[in-house]
Structure 1
């Protein structure tokens, strides 16, 4: 079985007051998912916008990946696959609490 698909991705970056926010939108043609990520520059650190961009986008990608896995696992169960035991951590919002 051959299959070809094109998924569209849009990335938005916003920076204000040493805080960078990223929004990553994925459109598969049948589903739309949005990942969010934030990075903050500590007051004692040198403000390097590229680092904030990289961290915020990486966190948005992580968030989107978790949603995509949940979607795939739900689709697998819908076609009769057994439930997976893998634990997916819930997304707590804009902040990456481990990085705080």
Structure 2
């Protein structure tokens, strides 16, 4: 994050969506260069009184999976900061 040089890094995200009846499950997988990955999970269920529109379930489940992934990434960053500085992180927000 510091220095005068500029370099580009690429992280790849992949979303998998599985529909089963009125339930949709999404998995958001983020892969970095070091080979590590973080996986977020999200689920959406159609209310029995609502019309079943699969595209909406896909969107909700995916949004929830990405939100889960985002929170995990923030927690990992906070942990890494604490390890690096030997001080607790007090104000790291999404």
Query: TM above 0.5, one fold?
Result: yes
Match of 2:61 in 1: 56
Counterpart secondary structure, 1:39: strand
- Cα RMSD (Å): 1.8
- SS for the counterpart of 1:79 is helix
Taking structure 1 as the reference length, the TM-score comes to: 0.80
Provide the secondary structure at the position in 2 that maps to 1:29: coil
Greater fraction of residues in helix: 2
Q: 2-side partners of 1:81 and 1:73: how far apart?
A: 11
Corresponding residue for 1:27?
A: 31
User: Which has the greater radius of gyration?
Assistant: 2
- Give the TM-score, by structure 2 length: 0.85
- Between the aligned partners of 2:84 and 2:91, the Cα distance in structure 1 is 18
| Alignment match of 2:18 (pick from 8, 14, 17) | 14
Structure 2, unaligned runs of 5 or more: none
Count, aligned residues? 88
Query: Aligned pair 1:71/2:76, yes or no?
Result: yes
In the alignment, the residues of structure 1 paired with residue 25 and residue 44 of structure 2 have an alpha-carbon distance, to the nearest angstrom, of 7
C-alpha displacement of 1:41: 0.1
